A and B are shown apart, each in its own frame.
Chain A
């Protein structure tokens, strides 16, 4: 269980790009369940779409990715040198639209890891119904290589 303050200590993203607000279950390097509350006040609803607010699918994927990043625990010396980044998005389906007022319950389970890749299956539910699902793969890159 993690609240917003504990989450902010673990991830670098900040509003309006902080997409996980509470973690209800966490097994380090294995799985997690997290919550994202979707408010009508979120800035992207101004344009996506006027009069018909629907949460963009890419931001649902970002919510899953941020929860995955909370699952990945590495030694401090690893995280000082390397950055874990999203490498692949596989088979994502947006089964039902997400609208203001929805509470996303996101569950991620690690499917592979230990080597150069860390993979997760992700499921996004609202009121127990699946709204999106897919797989994400991450890898680490040396921070010193960024921009080169």
Chain B
């Protein structure tokens, strides 16, 4: 799966499941900062989505990997089977 496709799926998930406004969500936007404002419950939703969609477990992974769609996609690319 191309990296762009991973990012696109992640963005669609953030918009449809977590209610993030697609107009302000870029691939490098800080997900847990003031602009988007996701919380720890959302992080569990992200882990569940990544696990079920890409087969990559992010349980216990350092929070730096959750900073943006770019960093999550990079982690997926580096760890998918």
Q: Spell out A's residues near B (CB within 8 Å).
A: 87-88, 112, 114-117, 139
By a CB distance below 8 angstroms, the chain A residues around B44 are: 87, 116-117, 139
Q: Assuming A112-B48, A112-B52, A115-B51, what are 18 further A-B pairs, CB within 8 angstroms?
A: A87-B41, A87-B44, A88-B41, A114-B51, A114-B52, A115-B48, A115-B52, A115-B57, A115-B59, A116-B44, A116-B47, A116-B51, A116-B59, A117-B44, A117-B45, A117-B47, A117-B48, A139-B44
Q: Chain B interface: which size bin?
A: under 10
Contact across chains for B48 and A116 when beta carbons are under 8 A apart: yes
Give A59 to B41 CA distance when docked, in angstroms.
22
Shortest beta-carbon distance from A98 to chain B in Å: 28
Closest 10 CB pairs of A and B: A117-B48, A115-B51, A115-B48, A116-B47, A116-B44, A116-B48, A139-B44, A117-B44, A116-B59, A87-B41
- Summed over the interface, the residue pairs from A and B with CB atoms below 8 Å come to a total of 23
Give A117 to B57 CA distance when docked, in angstroms.
13
Give A116 to B44 CA distance when docked, in angstroms.
7
Contact across chains for A115 and B47 when beta carbons are under 8 A apart: yes
Shortest beta-carbon distance from B76 to chain A in Å: 15
A-B contacts, 23 of them at CB < 8 A, read A87-B41, A87-B44, A88-B41, A112-B48, A112-B52, A114-B51, A114-B52, A115-B47, A115-B48, A115-B51, A115-B52, A115-B57, A115-B59, A116-B44, A116-B47, A116-B48, A116-B51, A116-B59, A117-B44, A117-B45, A117-B47, A117-B48, A139-B44
> B41, B44, B48, B52 — which one has the most chain A CB atoms within 10 A of its CB?
B48
Shortest beta-carbon distance from B59 to chain A in Å: 6
